[in-house]
Structure 1
Amino acid sequence: MSAIEYDIKSGDAGGPHGEDQTRPSDIEHLRPLPRISVHAFCESEAMQRVMEKCSQDRRMAKVNMRVNAGGISAAANMFASVPTPNLIILETAAEPAALLAELAPLAEVCDPSTKVVLIGRYNDIGLYRDLIRNGISEYMVMPVSMADTLAAISTIFVDPEAEPLGRSIAFIGAKGGVGSSTIAHNCAFGISNLFSTETILADLDLPYGTANIDFDQDPTQGMAEAVFSPDRLDEMFLDRLLAKCSEHLSLLAAPSMLDRAYDFHGDAFLPVLEILQRTAPVTVLDVPHMWSEWTRTVLAGADEVVITASPDLANLRNTKNMLDALKKLRPNDRPPHLILNQVGMPKRPEISTSDFCEPLETDPVAIVTFDPQLFGNAANSGRMISEIDAKSPTAETFSQLAHIVTGRASVKKPKKGGLGKVLGLLGRK
């Protein structure tokens, strides 16, 4: 890509005051970066903010990134006494005629395997060609966005011949018993059937998971063998652990046994999730209602997050806390989808949909009404809602949800009403 081509594509990266205008859709196609070290040297505060934003992105979870003040000379001084990292990103205001001479001291101390990305002020095709000939991996013209930076790093360190990664969709309940697992299972079934897409449902609730019951399966192996044997884990081993639920849906079941304690460190599930994403176009993650280091890591790394809640005060509080926490964990991704479940339960006082959603500043992508007969029949027979009654409104809701979470349909925002009475309720002691 030439400097001129780059400028045409990303010249509007900065906003009216130089803010980074990266949208989630600009970077959702990028793969997670491998375990590399990166040093960025920034001469301007705007570039420093872009680099800090990059370092917080979930695709950089394995990257050891350090953001430094200063330009090329600061980098040369630092690396005169310490080894160079895998990648150096340099911002410079040097003019084209002086740039190669300014890079010379750094070239003397730079390891031959270290890659260098240069960010300059001049859109000059001759300069670009000279820099590439002299070993610079990429030259970009200011203003540069976070999306431009991540794309440049990805181009250097991610194999272009690698198979595309499947999307991961994590479902979690705002409170225990709100039906998050049931919704995850029906959504996985819907995705596999509606789009004839190979889908894997991974039940991460090892002691109490219900996916095996909901699909009338009794596999002898599953998630426990995968997570407790990371050294054996590959595509062939995973394939032996999967149970077939339908033509396009496979299940990585939880043991649902209490013969051991299920205590995990923060990265315990990452090897399993990486294999799953290389195995199928869509992975649905049934995440238990808990807030631990490993559930935070799973939610932070998922492509989409779906929160299921019932319309009461505890669910509202928990949903608000989860949305705030996930915004910090996933600052550059779309906010989680919200599903309101068990709406209209007889004799139960409920918060109206408008009053529930107003303080959250989000609208539900689906509202599932309370229907114990339909859901009870499905659960007791080991079948999905669309298999029990394909023409029911609930089955249609799950069909729409499958379109939304896979990005095949946009969310239609319902009209909001009410006065946000719940804000007052949340403030009460």
Structure 2
Amino acid sequence: MSSLAYETSHPETTTAEADTALQSLRPVPRISIQAFCETEAVASPIERAGEDRRMAKAHLKVHMGGLSTAVEFYQTAATPNLIILESRGEPKDLLASLTELAELCDPSTKVVIVGHYNDVWLYRELTRAGVSEYVVAPISMADIVSVIAGIFVDPEAEPVGRSIAFVGAKGGVGSSTLAHNLAWTMSALFESEVVVADLDLPFGTANINFDQDPAQGIAEAVFSPERIDEVYLDRLLAQCAERLSLLAAPSTLDRTYDFDAEAFAQIIDTAQRSAPLVVLDVPHLWTSWSQTTLARADEVVITATPELANLRNTKNLVDTLAKLRPNDGPPKLVINQANVPKRPEISADDFAEPLGIMPLAVIPFEPQLFGSAANNGRMLGEMDHNHPVVQTMNDIAYILTGRREIKVKKKSGLAGLFERLHLKT
């Protein structure tokens, strides 16, 4: 019977035909892929696919062992953007075995099954279960590249990347430091590609924090919007770590930086099609473009210090974003630089009560750790990966990527202070 599964190449397919099919494919974005194979006949073309130029930006690892190996592996490891599984099991056994793997997968992880049964019923059941594609062995290198491209490069598909915008309630509260360190943490902790975009063109600090001095960066993209595509963007990115790239700000005052509301939209959209995570370092200002950027981000993180002006500004941001993003949840809050000696502060509970949101974390004032990292162009995790602040960064990274939920607790009242701020509860 005919199959609805992906049509794989056959031995009679010529090399010229395969080359022609590949030529029409766009490069695969910066995604992580792990394959679990039961036979060399499947493992070999997948390994060759990883060497194809269209897969140059993707990270692919091939493991020998099928579904049971994958389940054991992901008991202690985060799942990648794509899992490719070979199974020689019968259709009903395969479906039953996938349940255990599904419990370990992140919501955004996609799965491709390479099976040995040309079965329409199996294809339909796998699709219903959320599997992205079912491919019948034998397969070729071109089949694998085409399947991956079909999932991640479809021009009509939603952007593969999730954008997380960081903004400070005031200048100097450490929003950029938090953004840069969390970008590094997510790339290292989850072995996922991350792009950092420093949107503070005149005064951005990402190049200093990552110890980079790229000749080009985000300014070239924003002043030449007609040139922006994945290839051009790739030329502008500076490599900061194995899976971390930077769109650096020029950090110069040789021109004025006045932009319209859509100035960064195409850059961000292109970056999201190139990497699973895009961190937007938004400066503390209120312009049409910064408002648009925050309104369209998948997630917004507000950094604030525990004092009155920060509370007022955070409340304004939370209320305004609720109107701009009526179908999204509230922004996330991080209280930074807490417990400064001899400084009167608002407690975390009292700070959170008028906002209606609890902070993801309260990061203490640690001038030695943060100062040493900044002066050496290194991330906090590189300075001391066992430090409690670094562990807090790890926890925040899990929450922002949807791998962990926020624990909510009841809050105390703050009516008197609220009246001083003249804000509505």
Shorter-chain TM-score above 0.5: yes
Cα distance in 1 for residues equivalent to 2:278 and 2:421:
36
2:308 is matched with 313
1:200 is matched with 195
1:345 is matched with 340
2:225 is matched with 230
Amino acid at match of 1:198: E
Structure 2 residue 411 is the aligned partner of structure 1 residue 416 = yes
2:422 is matched with 427
Deviation at 1:163, TM superposition (A): 6.6
TM-score by length of 1: 0.61
Cα distance in 2 for residues equivalent to 1:280 and 1:261:
30
Deviation at 1:316, TM superposition (A): 0.4
Query: In 2, are the aligned partners of 1:356 and 1:422 still within 8 Å (CA)?
Result: no
2:255 is matched with 260
Q: Which has the larger radius of gyration?
A: 1
1:217-296 → structure 2 map (5 Å cutoff): 217-296=212-291
2:83 is matched with none
1:210 is matched with 205
Which structure 1 residue ranges, 4+ long, deviate > 6 Å from structure 2?
Answer: 158-161
Query: In 2, are the aligned partners of 1:201 and 1:252 still within 8 Å (CA)?
Result: yes
Cα distance in 2 for residues equivalent to 1:163 and 1:326:
23
Deviations 1:108-150 (A, max 9, x none): xxxxxxxxxxxxxxxxxxxxxxxxxxxxxxxxxxxxxxxxxxx
Amino acid at match of 2:230: E
1:330 is matched with 325
1:112 is matched with none
Query: In 2, are the aligned partners of 1:169 and 1:302 still within 8 Å (CA)?
Result: yes
Query: In 1, are the aligned partners of 2:306 and 2:346 still within 8 Å (CA)?
Result: yes
Deviation at 1:171, TM superposition (A): 0.2
Amino acid at match of 1:281: P
Amino acid at match of 2:362: I
Counting aligned pairs with the same residue, the percent is: 63
Amino acid at match of 2:183: A
Cα distance in 2 for residues equivalent to 1:161 and 1:420:
50
1:193 aligned counterpart, secondary structure: helix
1:162 aligned counterpart, secondary structure: coil
* C-alpha spacing 1:160/1:260, structure 2 compared with 1 (3 Å): closer
Cα distance in 1 for residues equivalent to 2:159 and 2:350:
41
Deviation at 1:421, TM superposition (A): 3.8
Cα distance in 2 for residues equivalent to 1:220 and 1:257:
13
Deviations 1:266-300 (A, max 9, x none): 10001101100100000000000001100010001
1:147-186 → structure 2 map (5 Å cutoff): 162=157, 164-186=159-181
Amino acid at match of 2:289: W
Aligned residues: 271
TM-score by length of 2: 0.62
* C-alpha spacing 1:248/1:355, structure 2 compared with 1 (3 Å): same
* 1:190 aligned residue (179, 185, 188): 185
Deviation at 1:355, TM superposition (A): 1.2
Deviations 1:19-76 (A, max 9, x none): xxxxxxxxxxxxxxxxxxxxxxxxxxxxxxxxxxxxxxxxxxxxxxxxxxxxxxxxxx
Deviation at 1:160, TM superposition (A): 8.5
Cα distance in 1 for residues equivalent to 2:155 and 2:225:
26
Amino acid at match of 2:368: Q
Structure 2 residue 353 is the aligned partner of structure 1 residue 358 = yes
Cα distance in 1 for residues equivalent to 2:412 and 2:373:
34
Deviation at 1:351, TM superposition (A): 1.0
1:386-425 → structure 2 map (5 Å cutoff): 386-417=381-412, 419-425=414-420
